[in-house]
Amino acid sequence: MSDILPSGESVLAELGIDSVAIKFIQPHWKRTHYRAVINWLTKYKPKPDTTNIEKVRGYLEAFHHLCEVEAWEEATAILVSDINGLISETLHIKLFIWGYYYQLAELSNRILGTLDLDLDIILLNDLGRIYHLLEDEKQAFEYWLQSFSLAQETKNYWAMGAVLGNLGVLYASLGDYSEAIEYNHQSLTFAIKSKNVEGEQTALMNIGMAHNHLGNHEKAIEFCKQSLAIAREIPNRLGEAAVLQEIGNAYRRMGEPEQAFDFYKQSLRIMLETEDELGKGSVLFNIGNLLIEIEKYLDALKYLQASLEVRRKIKRRCEEAETLMSIGEIYYHLACHDLARECIEQAVIIFTQLGIPLSKEDQELKGKLLS
C-alpha cells in the first residue's frame, strides 16, 4: 500500500491521534471508535491485486469512525489527505478519478454542514459534479446553485469561478453551446481574478470544447492550445490529458485523422498513467470512432470494447449506450448483422430508460438493423 498511501502512523500524527492518549478518552464507546481509526490506518493490508476502492479502505473506514464521534476536522482531513502516486491528489479527488461516484457522494454528505461555509461551498460544488456524472442534471444544478449562493455570500471568487465553469459544462451537455461559452468566459474572469491557474486552464479548454461543437474548429484549437500550455506549466496531468483529447476532437472534425490520432494517443497515455477512468473511457471511444471513419473496423472494435468495459465499470449508462451503438455500426459494416442488432437493441433500451432521444445518425442505423 506504500506506493499509494502515506503510512498510517504519519496520518495519525497529522491528525493528532495518539495510541496512548486515547486510553483516557471517555466514554468507552468513543474510545472504541478511536481505537478502530488506529487499527484501520495501521493494520489494514489490502491484497496487491485488489480494486482501488479496497486499497483505500483503511482511510474510508477511519473516516466513518471519526464521523461517529463527530471529530469533523479530523474526518475532513482524512478525506482531503494527500495520496502519493504518479500524481498527488487528495483522497476525494482520487475517488472522482477512479469513478466511485456513489461512495464519494456518501462521504461528502456526511461532513456537509459540519464545519464552515468554505468547506460547504467545496462539498456542494463537488456534489454537483457527482450528480452530473451520474446523469442527474436537475440535482447537479440544485447543488451548484447552493454552492454559488454561498460563494457569493462569502465573496469566494475562486469558488464562484469553479461553479460557473461547471454550469458551462452542464449547458454543453444539454447542447446549448453558446450558453456554455458564456458561462465559461465568466468562469475564466473569476479564475484570473482569484489567481486560480487551474481554473483558468479548465475554462479555456471548456470554451474550446464548445467552439468545437459549434464547428469553429480553428478557434477551438486556439483556446485549447492556450489551455495545454498552462496545464503543462502547472503541471496538471489530468488537465493536460483532457485538453489533448479535445484538440484531437478538433482535428478529427477537420478531416485530419493522423493529427487527431496523435493527440488521442498522447491523451490516452496520460489517462492510463493517472488512472482517469472517465477520461480513459472517453478517449478509447473517440479513437474507436476515428478508426470507423477510416474503415479500420477490427482495430476500432478493440478500442470500443475497451471503452465499453470502462464505461460499464463506472456506470456511465448513457455513454455505455453510445459505445454500443458504435460497436453495432462496426458489426454492420462487417456484415455480422445479428451481433449488430443485439448491440443496437441494448443501446436503445438504455436510451429509452434514460429518456434520451436517439441522434439522427443512430436513428438511421437503428432503422437499417431493426426494421
Segments in 69-135 forming alpha helices (H): 72-79, 91-98, 101-111, 117-133
Joined grid coordinates for residue 346: 441494448
Q: Tell me what pLDDT residue 24 has.
A: 87
Joined grid coordinates for residue 244: 489533448
Q: For helices 91-98 and 72-79, give the axis angle rounded to 10 degrees.
A: 50
Which run of H or of E encompasses 89? strand 89-90
Which residue reads 500524527 in cell numbers? 13
List the chain pLDDT tens, one digit each, 371 residues: 445 567 788 889 888 998 888 888 899 999 999 999 999 999 999 988 899 999 999 999 999 999 999 999 999 998 886 554 333 468 888 898 898 999 999 999 999 999 999 999 999 999 999 999 888 999 999 999 999 999 999 999 999 999 999 999 999 988 999 999 999 999 999 999 999 999 999 999 999 999 999 999 999 999 999 999 999 999 999 999 999 999 999 999 999 999 999 999 999 999 999 999 999 999 999 999 999 999 999 999 999 999 999 999 998 999 999 999 999 999 999 999 999 999 999 999 999 998 888 888 778 877 877 76
The amino acid occupying position 191 is A
Cα angle 179-279-212, degrees, rounded to a multiple of 5:
35
Cα atoms in the 13 Å half-sphere on the side-chain side of 121: 20
Joined grid coordinates for residue 60: 474510508
CB burial class (10 A; 0-12, 13-18, 19+) of residue 367?
exposed
Cα atoms in the 13 Å half-sphere on the side-chain side of 38: 15
Q: What does the alpha-carbon distance between residue 61 and residue 91 come to, in Å, rounded to a whole number?
A: 13
> Would you say how long the chain is, in residues?
371
Q: Tell me what pLDDT residue 82 has.
A: 57
Q: Tell me what pLDDT residue 88 has.
A: 47
Q: Which residues of 58-97 are buried (b: 16+ CB within 10 A; e: fewer)?
A: bbbbbbbbbbbbebbebbbbbbebebeeebebebbbbbbb
